[in-house]
Amino acid sequence: MVFKQQEKYHSIAGEKYDMMKQVKRKLGLVALTSILTFSLAACGGKSASNETKASEQPSGTAATDELKAEPGAELLLWDSKDPFVEYASKEFEKKYNVKVKFEKVESTDTVKRLSTDGPAGTGADVVVFPHDHLGTAVKSGVILPNDYFEEETKKTIVEPAVQASTYEGVLYGYPRNIETYALYVNKDLVKDAKLDTWEDIIAFSKKFNDVPNNKFGFLYEANNPYFNYAFMAGYGGYVFGKNGTDKNDIGINNEGAVKGMEFYRSLKEIIPVNPKDITADVKTGLWQEGKVAINLDGIWNAGNFAKLPFEVEVIPLPKMPGGAEPVAFSGVKSYYVSSYSKYPNAARLFAHFLTTKEMMLKNYELNGVLPAAKGLENEEAIKNDKIIAGFMQQVAKTQPMPSIPETQFFWQSVTPAIEQIWNGADVKATLDKAAGEMKTNIATGNK
């Protein structure tokens, strides 16, 4: 079989080199059981009139008071222009008598633009962006902590999303949705085949494969570390220690990571092609043509895959040899309140309103996104959606991508390493070399 050559593997939605810190949860601004530790210095750069100290409650409220919007408040939201945004804005206005205007701004451009538009007085009050931009936003001083609704957020939102929306122990985001990957299954091809473990998938694929005719039991972007990290982490590998925050503790070459990459290479038995040739476009084309039975891919394709002319369901990544479960990377989009907002209370209320259970279900209904709220897997609409229900199960077995800037060196070093491993290089020696390169680049600050 001949695949069309491409120079680079497909860039995964939400994956960036400039990533921020993912850290242990610490109780923040209204914590009941720990001492406040956040320093105002982390929010340097904003105008004095808009500063909100972490040790203070939202203006005009006490911890036990109901938060109220400022008189005459009007809000601007930067988000995608979609049916949910229009619906939610109107519902919020009905409930709080606060008008909301919205402007379409790409989430990846939000922080940079807010850094200039905020001080100029033309920035949004509420914005949305992926968690790998959080560190930059905090250091730039353009967002406020999620203080008033902090405890409620922690109780109602799944842990990976809370972690991803937290920076240096302080929760900033109001998590909206999670992006991760799992296994799309063509039920017309797989039928009732057992898929409980990777051994099952390998056994099925050996029977199904017809390589000369481009038919595969299982296929994925085998040259992409974003997906392969799940195998490393499942056996105990990691990028950085202390929940992704310690740049001096690199775990890509520990015993677990080596074992994960040994398993990765075993998949060559059922994917006997050059991994560079398995680009996202090539793989998706074969999948849509009904030539791939099991497709490891992300939730960002859920809408399109649900419309295919065959039955599709999603299942979590199954157990690897020895019973270890893969740990997939995840990315989180959250709403944030601008530190330059003239109406911070109204903005807090709106960010919270957008991420209530009711609104998340509406966003799922209108846009098909994977809600970040706990317990939604029991909702009838989601239970009956075999694609979203499968991703809801996978979310519990994910880990937010580390977000410190040094993560860029992981992508740079591990991408060629996994290609070499696939082609027969010694696993331990190859990962040791990649870890050494990361340490050197971190020490010298190479970009």
Q: Report pLDDT digits (tens) over 119-165.
A: 999 999 999 998 878 888 998 999 999 999 999 999 999 888 998 99
Residue 442, pLDDT score: 94
Q: How many domains does the chain have?
A: 2
Say which residues have a Cβ less than 8 Å from residue 250's Cβ, sequence separation at least 6: 239, 240, 241, 435, 438, 439
Task: Identify whether residues 430 and 295 lie together within a single domain.
Answer: yes
Distance, in Å, from the CA atom of 258 to the CA atom of 264, rounded to the nearest integer, reads 10
- Is pLDDT above 50 for 80? yes
In a domain, 67, yes or no: yes
Rg, the chain, Cα only: 23
pLDDT of residue 19: 34
Asked if residue 111 belongs to a domain, the reply is yes
**What pLDDT, on a 0 to 100 scale, did the predictor assign at position 447?**
52
Q: Where are the alpha helices (DSSP H) in 191-309?
A: 198-208, 225-234, 241-244, 255-266, 280-288, 302-305
pLDDT at 243 over 90: no
Same domain, 322 and 200: yes
Do residues 140 and 197 both lie within one domain?
A: no
**224 part of a folded domain:** yes
| Residue range 220-242, pLDDT digits in tens | 999 999 999 999 999 999 999 99
For residues 53 and 92, membership in a common domain is answered with yes
Please say if the pLDDT value at position 44 is more than 70. Answer: no
Q: What is the pTM of this model?
A: 0.71
pLDDT in tens, 271-329: 998 888 999 999 999 999 999 999 999 998 988 899 999 999 999 999 999 999 999 99
Candidate ranges 33-42, 200-209, 357-366; pick with highest mean pLDDT: 200-209
Q: State whether 273 and 350 are in the same domain.
A: no
Quote the domain boundaries for residue 152.
40-179+332-400
CA distance 189 to 233: 30
Pair type for strands 246-251 and 143-144: unpaired
Q: Is 8 within a domain?
A: no
